[in-house]
Structure 1
Amino acid sequence: MPTAPQTTDELYEALRENDRRPYGRTRTLTAEELVDAAEQFGEHEPLIHALLELQEAYTYGSEPRKSPVVFARLLNLFDEQPDVFDGRLRHMLFWRFKWVANALRQLPEIPLASLRQWQTEMRDRYEKAGLGLQPYYGQAYQLAAHVGEDTALAYELWAGRTRTELSDCEACEICERALYHLAAGDDERALRIWEPVLSGKESCQEEPARSVSYALLPLLRTGRTDQARALHLAGYRGCRRNPSMAPEVGRHLEFCALTGNEARGLELLAENRNLFAEVDSPLDQLHFLTGAEVLLRRVEQLGHGDLPAAGYAGRTWTVATLRAEIQGRADDLAARFDTRNGTSTHTDRRRARLERAPLLESLELTLRTRTLEDVAPAAPVAPAAPAKPSVPDELPELIARARELDEQGHPDSRDHWARLRALVAEPGYTHPDDPALGSLTRLRADLLEDEGNLAGERDAYAESAAHFKEAAELYETDGEPGLAALARAGAVLAEAEGSAADAPTGHEDNVKAGALGDAYDAIVRLHEGVSGLRPVHEARLLRLRATALALRFQSSRDPEHAEQVLAEVEGLYAFATRHDIPGQISGAVLLRATTHAISGDLPTAVTELDALLARLREQGPAWHLPRVLGLRGKAQLGMGNAEAAHADLSEALRVSAEWPSAGLATARLHNDLAEACLHLGRPDEALRHLTRCAELELRGGSRFDAFCTYSNAARLTLDLGRVEDCIALLDSVLAEPDAAAGELDDRLLAQLRLTRARALHAGEDLKAATAEFVALAAESAGWEDDPGSHAMIAAETAVLLAESGEFERAREAADQALAAHAREPRFEQLSNCLRELARLQAQRQGPEGLPSALGFLEDAGRVADEAREAGYEAHGRSLDTALAYEYGRVHAHAHAHEDAIVALEKAMALLGEPGEDAAKAGEWAECVRLASALEGIYLERPAPALARLDAAIARLTPLGLTEDIEPLTELAAQLRDEN
């Protein structure tokens, strides 16, 4: 807290501000400081409010030892000055007797006699105040359930009583009743009782998150797996990282362990690592640790005890070591509670959870389905990897075979080079003394060249160029000038491909095209400067020359550049045909077909690819089939034949399974298949391909591409209305180490967070969505090169702040958006935002909010004027007609009905008479309906309202616009009935 409040008004404002903070150390520390500040005023009422805020912070911040102490002060104040407690404060005081009872149960050092004594105190206080005892009996039942006594009588004494104003909320009581039947083994009855909470009809601060966590396993046991999956996603989000809901997090971890989702469980454990330190409640610790132990035991049983695990701070943990640590701590906690209670209840319940067998072999919980193998850290380079059956064991044969496959362009060469790389890295490596195999220097150069190719495939161009250059020097040292020239050509091409990285925004393609043209010239010089090349190596140089020109054409789209590509490709094709080099023949045809495709001549490209497919199926090489089929599929998609594209791409994916080394190529096939699926109206199938593509890119080291693909998948998920799936996917992706550490590209990271914020908004988590939008708006304010994106983010932020009733902050955010819009216009987005802000303020504040609402509309009017001057045409509604309609709605909310009707008539005039444009006709009809309702109902002038309605119905009827006519007909009938 920057400065202590100097007046009681400042204190109350600080208390309100603190109330908006999430529960945790920041809120608790501030609450403690505010109590100190309140004591300085020497007044009881401010101190009472400060103490109430502090007790709430302790209760929901999982600090049960401190909550009773604060309540004792409140109770003393009540005894001393009961008149200071108005009806609201008195209600809060008696409500919190239950908080104290709950806090005392959580502390094993508190004797059972003291717990019973507190309940007696609660009963006496309630009776003295003339309050009903149902809340007291509720606490008596919960204590019996905690201790492990026979709960039948206690349950009836509570559940059979009429609720009072101090009873726990409906949602919490539903949960307790359901748990009673769950403990009795009646899953079906428990779930029937839970239905109002699980369906969202009843809720509170802790519900439905608490009930959901308990209901997951009963849902599985009764076969309701889809509901269990959906509730896990939504319920976990409601409790993650929250110290006061650590037991609920533990039950979600247990659910993962029992459904074949151990990898997700480890991910969630890492996300909640803070709970190891921040949960001060021994009982909550026990429940959280037991859930975590269920997960860790399962992972260990599956043979992955050496996997890293997130645990207590201060040391590095594996699954096995963390499980052992947790077991000791949780056993001790259970024993302490049982000693206090004089039963074995907590030890028995803990044992039952740990001994549960998995309920399902597998249940797809999220779109990012991962196994324990996926989360295992990458194997270090140095130790030799075990040889695959197709990789020779003998070193001389392995070296010779790797080079042979490499010259063919065979994908299996990758496995051979990987095996050799591991062997060469071993301390005791001895190179074969065989002149036919060459020196160790030559082999190291071969390995570097392979690493250069791998880096290039994942767009790590600087790394690729460095590997090629080092390889070239080693080849030169070893007396291989031809291979050195090839490696240098590879470095030149890699540097040219990476040239756009440092180019000014908007000039990347020009810079890259120029660099690739220079690269072509340099490769030609290298080619001309070396003699005695083997045909296979000369063909590779010709291929690099053609590739440089092809890439230049992709960047420039200059027809002259296309002609140069085709001429160079003809030379490559002729040379490869003359020397019978099948891989380069295929490569030449692929370059030619790609050039035709980029030029827009898709039929010619398909013809080329058809001929190549026939050749490959007859003569090979077969490993080119996936790429050729994939390219033909993309061409078919470009020609509008999505079915044919889907067939080609599916076959390409099937064939690519025979060549698993080509992981990133397979990823691209999944990405293209996703596009085909979207064209065919199969979004769920598209989603599966997108997530598979992203995971393959991630494993292949193309992390930027992977995050881009995940971003696309998340947006598609949100478009499909699968809000919880979207949030869970993004939570998982954002938990990746480079994303969590902020090492990812800042704009891409912002896009992921923006989609998540929109999903939170769609999921009606307004508080979390607003917090994320506010943070993004602050960050994007510094994007000097992209003010348009800041304008969009600030505009959305303003709307969310308005939805939360924070209109001053909404105005500030809208002003930021307008300032950024002035630098890079976002006409439609900003107009939509300003109109919505006006509507929200008028709707929430009525006549009082009209001036501010009109201010937003005036801004929207200026944006519409600017758009008109710039010749901008909105993609949706006309900005002018939408603005006129909003003037009508805003005045209607502010009870300025005459002005509203004038604005709506202006909107109708701008729209013109309804015609074949159904969207405009619908807008026009809505203006008629609202104007007629205002005139006929609020201004009590039914005759002109009916005349307007009848005329509109007559105009719309010949157009067959039934959906637009129906509301008008209903309103007309209502007006006639009332008059």
Structure 2
Amino acid sequence: MPTAPHPQSTDELYQALQENDRRPYGRIRTVTAEELVDAAERFEEPAVLVHALLELQEAYTYGSEPRKSPVVFARLLTLFDEQPDVFDERLRHMLFWRFKWVANALRQLPEVPLTAMRQWLTEMRDRYEKADLGLQPYYGQAYQLAAHTGEDTTLAYELWAARSRTRLSDCEACEICERARHHLAAGDDERALRVWEPVLAGKESCQEEPARSVSYALLPLLRTGRTDRARELHLAGYRACRRNPSMSGEVGRHLEFCALTGNEARGLELLAENRTLFDEVDSPLDQLDFLTGAEVLLRRVESLGHGGLPAAGRAGRAWTVSDLCADVRHRADDLAARFDARNGTSHHTDRRRARLDRAPLLDALELTLRTRGLDDVVPAAAPVTPPAATSAAAPAADAAAAPETLPELILRARALDAQGHPDAQACWERLRTLATARDYVHPDDPAVGPLVRLRADLLADEAGRTRDEEYAVAAALHEEAAGLYEDAGEPGDAAVAHACAALAQAELATEGADDPVKAAAFTTAHATLVRLHQETSGLAPHQEARLLRMRATSLGLRLQTSRDEEHIAPLFAELDLLHTFAVRHDILTQISGALLLRASTHAMTGNLPAAVTEVDALLDRLRTQGPAWHLPRTLGLRGRLQLGLRDARAAHADLSEALRLAADWPADAVDTVRLHGDLAEACMHLGRPDEALRHLTRSAELDLRRGNRTDAYCTYSNAAQLSLDLERVEDCIALLDSLLAEPDVAAGELDDRLVAQLRLTRARALHAGEDLKAATAEFVALAAESAGWDDDPGSHAMIAGETAVLLGESGDFGRAREAADQALAAHAKAPRYEQISNCLRELARLQSQQQGPDGLPGALAFLADAGKVADEARAVGFEAHGRSLDSALAYEYGRVNAYAGAYDDALAALDKALALLGEPGPEEEGAGEWAECVRLAGVVEGIYLERPVPALTRLDAALTRLTALGRTEEAEPLTTLASRLRDEA
């Protein structure tokens, strides 16, 4: 474990203490603090030892090691008694403050007798009285002991709450939490929430607040109908306490909240994220709280019939929900009994039982953008055949009825497959299970045929279900099926299988190829399909129709690739052949397929109105003649066409209807993933981003379930960015936390650039959520990783630039300069003029604003680099999407010099910026930028340089211009400034 080097002087030790104070609480910080105490003891300066012991006690307290905290404090108290002069006012304050830490630590340990805890409170009272300190903090601890043991707290509460606060009282946020919990214990949810409001609203906070209060307030919020508020606070509150040993009880209450709101799957996900708490929490009281919350969740999952699901428990073994629940129950029961034995009450057992006996408060509360059920935690069960379609247009209305005999099942599967009916898949799945069983006996029935034919059927079905990118697998399976069909004496089915293989091989040949090669591959495939069609005799109508359909498909793919007008007529000719043949033999599926391909061809050639006309005619036919299962796909195409025609409202209606109808068919029968994605696009065009977000996440989750993980994560990445754009910061973070915890992501199996994009969006969300420390840490890590992206220096430039800005916000301008230099080096390889210029100017502003005159040289260095970037951009004719780089740079020179007190230089820079901008005209969008530049020049000139007359002349001229343009909003700040200057003149 990495620890601090041994300090060689007291100055080095103090520096090491400061560095350790910046570390997060946990083993590294605690071990380092222990080593620093050892180092301090070697110096003959008691003040150094006092500081080291204070740091160590803090590490123990917030690292959930209550057994060790009182021991350290005893040493501090001895030093105080022996050498009080070592303790200045600040150290003395810290010492008396930490009497409360010891009282809290003793309550957490059931082995500490009740008499010892009361003796400690007496010691605290005596010390406070002797030091002439107010006793409100003592009475606060006396109340907390009474609440802990389950005694009547009425008097203890009044003795504490009625007293005036002192300098040593707990912070406002902590006291608010204790008062609210008192009312909560009395059953008054409304009063508790009123008391809690300043903390829940973020007006009062501290080290553990508002996260602690949030965890207690979740259930009262639900019971009083404030579900949206509970959801919002769960997301923010959980993130503040996750994986934190000193807040394990809070984590337990979030697990309980998930269990009582129909979010058991999320609860299991959070439990897995916090599995280290089973071993890292050294506080028995916190452990009891955590285990009880975990048991509420595990019992709920078990009661829903999912006790066999995997669950994350103590390290060293694999757990199921039922196994872990039993282990948690045993450990928590034992802890509750130990506390009650110590306290002489049944309070902890009673409280625990009350939590375990709570009924769910809601059937379902959508907590995150990624809504998952317990069925999603494990692989999906075997497909269940849905009820038969009720539409008169659906052939074989009894298609879903389970055949009573094996021959009937085989014949039913083949009949449905010939129709292209989606229920065929369930039949093949059932047959696959039966045929692969050891005791399978194939029917001796001429109508069924030999076993080799059934094996060919199953291979063909398996090949048809491969994912789009698995062309090699599909081709091999189709060829194997073709060979078996030939062995079975089924030349028609063999020809169809060979044709499918040829088409898959063509798709495989086009991967990574240029367009001419792709077009040639599909031309070859078409020739192969024509030859198979012509050379195979005795084809059944449905087989011949499938071959004609594949012939048309190959030419459609060729046109899609080449966009060559010469390829249009041959495709329409093939479609005419298919349509004529299908109509002659009344093959409904292929009639529909031909018309659908015709509409798609019109769309590919840019004739969207003609495509819509074709689709409308097809929809009329499908509604009257069928097949009904083609309706969702056809409506989906019409929705996409309407998007192309910029009729988002019509597109939304078509796509919504397609989704509604898709629910009548098996999951894989309709591409619902695309329907949800297209609906998201329609919603964005209609200005309904929240609805779009729901469709994006639904599309992604469906892709994930089907094994299309890369596509799913890409869609989820878009959803995360959209939620961030909508300022749903906690939703964005929760979604990304869930995705980054997926096993394949954690194991490094997903594309590293895609994972980096997810992490980058999360880092930006953390920044937007004002968690600067976490955001900076993630950006620094991403900048280090992206430095090795030799094939993509532009992305590294962007990430390093953003990292530099965050380091600047943290005041770490040394590291910010290093990151900016990395960004500039990457920018030299792949220019990102506007982004890099923005970052450099922002760094200059931050350094000048934070450091004043001392920061001016560093700020001007950043601006000098931004000037070089602007020169490069001008030389290549680059035009920024926002402000021009030159005017923005001049304005920033003005602002930076103003922050540093160099007002003459600031005014000169602002005048240059105004000259570059020029006065705004009626049609220009830069009026706001120009007005802001005038305002800042007026402030510098009129207030800081004390030249009100020329400043007012400047402002009045600008106001005249803005008024003439009707830009009243931009004029308002200038009017306010001018009034101030006149009042002060």
Q: Is the 8 A contact 1:196 1:202 kept in 2?
A: yes
Q: 1:390 to 1:759 in 2, by over 3 A?
A: farther
In 2, Cα distance between the equivalents of 1:557 and 1:19? 64
Aligned-pair distance for 1:933? 0.6
Aligned-pair distance for 1:523? 4.4
Match of 2:964 among 952, 958, 969: 958
Q: 1:571 to 1:871 in 2, by over 3 A?
A: farther
The aligned residue for residue 411 of structure 2 is 400
Q: Does 1:791 align with 2:801?
A: no
What are the equivalent positions in structure 2 for 1:800-819 lying under 5 Å apart? 800-819=806-825
Stretch deviating more after TM superposition (766-775 or 637-646): 766-775
In 2, Cα distance between the equivalents of 1:757 and 1:844? 23
The aligned residue for residue 220 of structure 1 is 222
The aligned residue for residue 454 of structure 1 is 465
Q: 1:531 to 1:865 in 2, by over 3 A?
A: farther
Aligned-pair distance for 1:361? 2.4
In 1, Cα distance between the equivalents of 2:472 and 2:823? 38
Match of 2:17 among 4, 15, 19: 15
The aligned residue for residue 626 of structure 1 is 632
Scaled by the length of structure 1, what TM-score is found?
Answer: 0.95
Deviations 1:111-142 (A, max 9, x none): 11221222222223333333322222211111
- One-letter amino acid of the counterpart of residue 480, structure 2: E
Q: Is the 8 A contact 1:256 1:262 kept in 2?
A: yes
Match of 1:478 among 488, 506, 515: 488
The aligned residue for residue 142 of structure 2 is 140
Q: Is the 8 A contact 1:384 1:422 kept in 2?
A: no
- One-letter amino acid of the counterpart of residue 478, structure 2: F
In 2, Cα distance between the equivalents of 1:238 and 1:500? 50
Match of 1:493 among 480, 483, 503: 503
Q: Is the 8 A contact 2:891 2:913 kept in 1?
A: yes
Q: Does 1:62 align with 2:64?
A: yes
The aligned residue for residue 604 of structure 2 is 598
- One-letter amino acid of the counterpart of residue 411, structure 2: A
The aligned residue for residue 823 of structure 1 is 829
Aligned-pair distance for 1:704? 2.0
In 2, Cα distance between the equivalents of 1:240 and 1:818? 37
Stretch deviating more after TM superposition (245-254 or 800-809): 800-809
Aligned-pair distance for 1:532? 4.2
- One-letter amino acid of the counterpart of residue 816, structure 1: Q
Aligned-pair distance for 1:657? 1.9
Q: Does 1:241 align with 2:243?
A: yes
Partner of 2:208, secondary structure, is coil
Q: 1:92 to 1:386 in 2, by over 3 A?
A: farther
Deviations 1:275-300 (A, max 9, x none): 11111110001011111111122222
The aligned residue for residue 739 of structure 1 is 745
Partner of 2:443, secondary structure, is coil
The aligned residue for residue 706 of structure 1 is 712
Q: 1:31 to 1:636 in 2, by over 3 A?
A: same
In 2, Cα distance between the equivalents of 1:877 and 1:493? 52
Q: 1:2 to 1:571 in 2, by over 3 A?
A: farther
Match of 2:122 among 96, 120, 135: 120
C-alpha RMSD of matched pairs (Å)? 2.5
Q: Is the 8 A contact 2:386 2:664 kept in 1?
A: no
Aligned-pair distance for 1:530? 4.5
Q: 1:969 to 1:91 in 2, by over 3 A?
A: same
- One-letter amino acid of the counterpart of residue 455, structure 2: R
In 2, Cα distance between the equivalents of 1:216 and 1:196? 15
Q: 1:463 to 1:269 in 2, by over 3 A?
A: farther
In 2, Cα distance between the equivalents of 1:228 and 1:841? 39
The aligned residue for residue 392 of structure 2 is none
Q: 1:274 to 1:55 in 2, by over 3 A?
A: same
Q: Does 1:323 align with 2:325?
A: yes
- One-letter amino acid of the counterpart of residue 133, structure 2: L
Match of 2:590 among 574, 584, 588: 584
Aligned-pair distance for 1:427? 2.4
Q: 1:918 to 1:30 in 2, by over 3 A?
A: farther
Q: 1:21 to 1:448 in 2, by over 3 A?
A: farther
The aligned residue for residue 113 of structure 2 is 111
In 2, Cα distance between the equivalents of 1:881 and 1:965? 20
Q: Is the 8 A contact 1:4 1:37 kept in 2?
A: no
In 2, Cα distance between the equivalents of 1:158 and 1:290? 29
The aligned residue for residue 668 of structure 1 is 674
User: Which runs of 5 or more residues in structure 2 are unaligned?
Assistant: 389-398
Stretch deviating more after TM superposition (707-716 or 238-247): 707-716
Deviations 1:544-587 (A, max 9, x none): 33323333433444444445544443443344344443322322
Q: Is the 8 A contact 2:307 2:322 kept in 1?
A: yes
The aligned residue for residue 893 of structure 2 is 887
Aligned-pair distance for 1:669? 1.0
Q: 1:99 to 1:591 in 2, by over 3 A?
A: same
In 1, Cα distance between the equivalents of 2:697 and 2:944? 54
Stretch deviating more after TM superposition (315-324 or 123-132): 123-132
Partner of 2:671, secondary structure, is helix
Deviations 1:923-971 (A, max 9, x none): 0000000000111111111000000000000111111000001100010
The aligned residue for residue 615 of structure 1 is 621
In 2, Cα distance between the equivalents of 1:760 and 1:512? 45
Partner of 1:238, secondary structure, is helix
Q: 1:579 to 1:912 in 2, by over 3 A?
A: same
- One-letter amino acid of the counterpart of residue 462, structure 2: E
Q: Is the 8 A contact 1:112 1:340 kept in 2?
A: yes
The aligned residue for residue 92 of structure 2 is 90
Deviations 1:302-346 (A, max 9, x none): 222222222122222222222111111101000000111111111
In 1, Cα distance between the equivalents of 2:552 and 2:79? 87
The aligned residue for residue 438 of structure 2 is 427
In 2, Cα distance between the equivalents of 1:391 and 1:347? 53
Q: 1:218 to 1:932 in 2, by over 3 A?
A: same
Q: How many residues align?
A: 973
The aligned residue for residue 290 of structure 2 is 288
- One-letter amino acid of the counterpart of residue 707, structure 2: G
Match of 2:855 among 843, 849, 857: 849
Stretch deviating more after TM superposition (281-290 or 901-910): 901-910
Q: Is the 8 A contact 2:683 2:691 kept in 1?
A: yes
- One-letter amino acid of the counterpart of residue 397, structure 1: E
In 1, Cα distance between the equivalents of 2:575 and 2:725? 43
In 2, Cα distance between the equivalents of 1:90 and 1:429? 84
The aligned residue for residue 864 of structure 2 is 858
The aligned residue for residue 768 of structure 1 is 774
In 2, Cα distance between the equivalents of 1:38 and 1:489? 81
Q: 1:530 to 1:833 in 2, by over 3 A?
A: farther
Match of 1:638 among 633, 636, 644: 644
Aligned-pair distance for 1:10? 3.7
The aligned residue for residue 395 of structure 2 is none
In 2, Cα distance between the equivalents of 1:803 and 1:95? 32
Deviations 1:465-510 (A, max 9, x none): 3433433343344344543443344344335445576x4xxx7767
- One-letter amino acid of the counterpart of residue 468, structure 1: H
User: Which runs of 5 or more residues in structure 1 are unaligned?
Assistant: none
In 2, Cα distance between the equivalents of 1:907 and 1:495? 62
In 2, Cα distance between the equivalents of 1:436 and 1:855? 87
Q: Is the 8 A contact 2:386 2:665 kept in 1?
A: no
The aligned residue for residue 468 of structure 1 is 478
Partner of 1:427, secondary structure, is coil
- One-letter amino acid of the counterpart of residue 256, structure 1: C
In 2, Cα distance between the equivalents of 1:492 and 1:89? 82
Stretch deviating more after TM superposition (167-176 or 217-226): 217-226
Deviations 1:894-917 (A, max 9, x none): 111111111111111111111124
